[in-house]
Amino acid sequence: MTDTTTFPTANPLLDATDLPDFTAVQPVHVVPAIEQAIASHRAIIAEVSEGARDDFASVVLASERADFDLSRTWSPVGHLSSVADTPELREAHAAGQSLMTAYLMEAGQNSAHYAALGRVAARPDFRTLPVAQQRAVDLALRGFRLAGVALEGEARQRFLEIGMELSELSTSFANAVMDATEAWTEHVTDERALAGVPDSDRAILASYAKEKGLDGWLITLRQPSVQAILLHASDRALRERVYRANATRASEQAEDKNFDNSARIEKIMALRHEAAQILGFADAAAHSLETKMATDAQEALSFLADLASRARPMAETELAEARAFATAHLGLEELASWDLSYVAEAMRRTLHGVDQEALKAYFPLPRVLAGTEALFERLFGVRLVPRPGVAVWHDDVIFYDLLDANGQVIAGVYLDLFARAGKRGGAWMDVCQSRFRDADRFHLPIAYLTTNFAPAAWDRPSLLTHNDVVTLFHEFGHVLHHLLSEVDIPSVGGISGVEWDAVELPSQFMENFAWDRATLIGLSGHVETGEPLPEAMFDRLLAARQFQAGLALLRQVEFATFDLQLHRDYDPVVGARVDATLERVRKEVAAIQPPSWNRFAHGFTHIFAGGYAAGYYSYLWAELLSADAFELFAHSDVSGGGGTAFRREILAVGASRTAADSFRAFAGRAPEIDALLKIRGLVAG
């Protein structure tokens, strides 16, 4: 993307095409496109809301059409800000986001539009409409109430101001994390400093150095680099430096304090609490839980506490074993936070015969993608087919059409898989376009799938760790939820409108296939010989699946409990008390106490810059659903019913019914915890 000083005649963000022309989008396009899209949306909603209209087509369908067009204009802008950041785009995105936030806050309080939807719901024949149409109206009305449609006067104005400020703070929080990630580096010119780091990882570090015009190797805070050092580097001091830099990103404890998120966190928490109280909720957690399966924060916290009590004995045993191993085999008398991954990796190799570096050789990305495509065809009867010539934002990006059993294109997905400068860390799926059957046109669902895998190096393709394979399957679960929707109304199709603590069900369901013998061996192929993963190596990997499972579970419980307590217990008199809250939660939950200078929260984008505020517990909540669903699936005929039933009852229906009803339709009963406990090793399988 490049900026220009003159505005071109055509604006690609306003093209009525299903696939954006990313090669044509420039920062200068953003604000004019958003202004025009907002003006169009406002005019349509005014027309929809006038008079006494009360039929679904002229009120709801027309509103969905307006929302679809507005979303299609903004989606490429929001996506590019995460994967192709530049100073010019960041400025344009901030301006566009400010316009969008202000308008969406205004639209959420449009009492005339709310009244029109109310008239549709009040019709005597409303409950005879298709269930998806009823659900769209019900959720829209709830959305208006949560947006403050009933507010008046000063409360209304203040709620709007808070929404604007929160949007800006969330963006600046994420930008600070991205900038802090890119700002820290350590240049290595003596290869001996990288003792223990595998050749494939050294190649990645060499490519980072080359990117900056340097010789040797460059250690960064990008995910592949951090993993390479913390898992493999023999130099303990180097591990400590990388751990410290990563654990203090965007905080007052970092070497570079220019990106400190401390003040932003305080302000975000204060504003969330104030907004919740304006709407009549006791706290931000209660506000968040209004749209989730859990009835309140206490139910979610009790669920987490139960898991913690079950996991703690195992975690304490695992930690004792790690300390004993570190002393006996690695000469480490004391186990520090920067030693944990290194020791765990050594234990996997020594005690379980699992060598992550050796495993990587069996998972070259092209083979993994081919095996993933074969899995989707086997489970759901669909095929991913690369389509050349699609305009993308980076040369690494691949676009796939999704074809049904008859060869018909039913959806599409962009894959952007490698870590690079200007790209937010982590892995995620996002919506490019929703499925929408309009009066005269059918719009296919399109998704983005983004990861930060290590890129190809030297003469080898990208090699994935087994954790990378799990991540890929996880994000593809979200993608399939979006792409295989059979609901024609965008607001309740795909992932839209699904309860947040159930939206991870398909993603975590798909993770299980990364542990399935036939699937994993089938998608493997040694980078040099092409030989599949040996059965014995798979057996060792599977046997080690629950290695340190107690510690891993407690870590997730820690994050989720911290998130809920932070939002539930906020007190305006004393502020967020982030460090104190996290310390208290760790004493209650964690088996490992990190250094006092650890500032995990300052990079916790899930809750401060994403959609997981007072909702991070949803990963474990949904894991209960997914584990139970997969156990039922595993005992069914995979080729005959399991995949078809999961697609029909979970993926296809979106939010056209509640998540609880969808699970019951698939399983024939309510979810049970037993399968989760087995997968986590808390009870015998």
Catalytically annotated residues = 475
Question: Rounded distance, CA 106 to CA 159, Å?
Answer: 10
Q: Which residue has the tokens 């009040």?
A: 122
Whole-number Cα distances in Å, 561 to 287, 306, 554, 589: 17, 12, 10, 9
- Residue-wise DSSP of 498-509: --TTTTTHHHHH
Token pair recorded at residue 25:
């989008």
Amino acid identity, position 60: V
Tell me 638's DSSP state.
I
Neighbours of 662 (CB within 10 A): 23
Q: Are the C-beta atoms of 648 and 591 separated by less than 8 Å?
A: no
Q: Which residues sit opposite 402 in a β-bridge? A: 384, 411
Token pair recorded at residue 654:
């979106």
Question: Rounded distance, CA 547 to CA 550, Å?
Answer: 8
Question: Rounded distance, CA 495 to CA 488, Å?
Answer: 13
Neighbours of 88 (CB within 10 A): 16
* H or E stretch covering 571: none
Q: Are the C-beta atoms of 502 and 453 separated by less than 8 Å?
A: no
CA 25 to chain centre: 25
Output the CA angle 285-131-622, nearest 5 degrees.
Answer: 40
Q: Which residue has the tokens 């301006």?
A: 95
Question: Rounded distance, CA 662 to CA 234, Å?
Answer: 50
Q: Which residues sit opposite 418 in a β-bridge? A: 453
Our separate counts of H helices and E strands in the chain read: 27, 9
Q: Are the C-beta atoms of 648 and 661 separated by less than 8 Å?
A: no
Question: Rounded distance, CA 641 to CA 628, Å?
Answer: 16
Question: Rounded distance, CA 594 to CA 585, Å?
Answer: 12
